[in-house]
Amino acid sequence: MFNEMGTKPNVRSPYNVVSEWVEQTGIDLLQQRNAEAEALFRKIGITFAVYGEDADPERLIPFDMIPRVFSAEEWRVIDRGVKQRARALNAFLYDIYHRGEIIRAGIVPEHLVYQNSAYLPSMVGINPPGKVYSHIVGIDIVRTGEEGFSVLEDNCRTPSGVSYMLENREIMMRMFPGLFRREEVEPVDSYPGDLKDTLREVAPEKCEDDPCIVLLTPGPLNSAYYEHSFLADLMGIELVEPGDLFVDQGIVWMRTTLGPQRVDVIYRRIDDDYLDPLSFRPDSMLGVPGIFDVYRSGGVTICSAPGAGIADDKAIYCFVPDMIQFYLGERPILDNVPTWRCALKDDLAYVLDHLHELVVKEVHGSGGYGMLIGPKSTKAEQQEYAKRIIADPEDFIAQPTLDLSTAPTVAADGLGARHVDFRPFCLVGKNVRLSPGGLTRVALKEGSLVVNSSQGGGVKDTWVLAEK
């Protein structure tokens, strides 16, 4: 198992300062500061909602004080690889809503696209500004050894978690300012400005002045509402709910105390199905009637575009390396994790024979729900899951149970090694931008591989060291 920091006397060089700091600070003070950080998060209101039987409308994501560190050299690989992947995914989206060349070439099976519930036929032929469909791309990256990184999955719709990237850094700088004087760490506070610049760059052609940009949220009951309000505030744009917008004469308007104001760009955090009751789900109480027609006519830009979710479908994920070669003529910088598609006869047979050692996921699943982690499951659970796979093989993929890298983490009984993954946030407009950092998620339960916040995972500050 690869330990990101290493152990004395073989501490990895990116962690030299952090290792010394941990030793000098001591576990007692780190545990105390962890508790103080939790109180700060609660005071500020950095919470998220959990749905279900044990619903908690104000759950904290636990914060760990020990940062995850990337060297400048490691970051160059991630930076190039994530930007490459974001460009290819957007090229794929443009292609499948136009000529479908990658399907004609026999690279991506036709049925995986056109029969997918995330594919929107109503998007066919639409040309979004700059041919950009997914403006904020979250790429989940894992590591199993010192050499190389792998992509676990792509998030092309409305990836969340960037508020924690920013707040984690703020908390660390507030509690341990001296640590940042000992190590030169790349800042992440440019992200809100970069996001606003990206949204400006994709304003529709009909926008003649500085675009009016809004962030559309479902409202305070949404699990990521804190992030919505946080980002809107940092960008200096209006946070709006569906009732604040209306369509008239082919224009989207925002209700204000000074009268209606035209809206040019909408950073939406509402799922496709609920965006417009006239075009999608008629029972949606979260949508803005007629907004999709304005989008189709080029009167407003919706970020990310309706229908972008087809690009992060877990079955489509298998073909991203081929997309990179097909659209960009380049070799993939970041590899995929080996993946079996249960829709294929041989893959299905292998998965069913090896359920005890694989991680099986629903193709349309997210948030760590609906998975089977073979080594952690019982025989009965495997048998029950096998029935689900057999009933609908197209709905499942499987991957090896990865020996994810670990990072030092403050635990109740001292310092422990816990599994981590990483989500950087790539912004795509006329330019492609990647802040030097991201969201490191950590599985706080010893031995657990599930890092999702909805499943009890925590977060860390992520450091990218400056070039020497």
Taking only the tens place, the pLDDT of each residue in 134-147 is 999 999 999 988 88
Percent of the chain with pLDDT over 70: 95
Q: Which of 269-283, 315-329, 356-370 has the lowest mean pLDDT?
A: 356-370
Per CATH, 205-299 and 340-400 having the same topology is answered no
pTM of the predicted model as reported, rounded to 2 decimal places: 0.93
| pLDDT exceeds 70 at position 53 | no
What is the fold, at CATH topology level, of the domain defined by 205-299?
Rossmann fold (3.40.50)
Contact 342, 363 (CB under 8 A): no
One-letter amino acid at 16 equals: N
- What letters, b where the CB count within 10 A reaches 16 and e where it falls short, cover 261-272? eebbbbbbbbbb
Tokens describing residue 45: 């209101």
Q: What is the predicted pLDDT for the residue at 455?
A: 67
How do the domains of the chain map onto residue ranges?
6-187+313-334+405-464, 205-299, 340-400
Neighbouring CB atoms inside 10 A of 464's CB total 24
Taking only the tens place, the pLDDT of each residue in 102-129 is 999 999 999 999 999 999 999 999 999 9
For the structural domain made of 340-400, what CATH number should be given?
3.30.1490.270
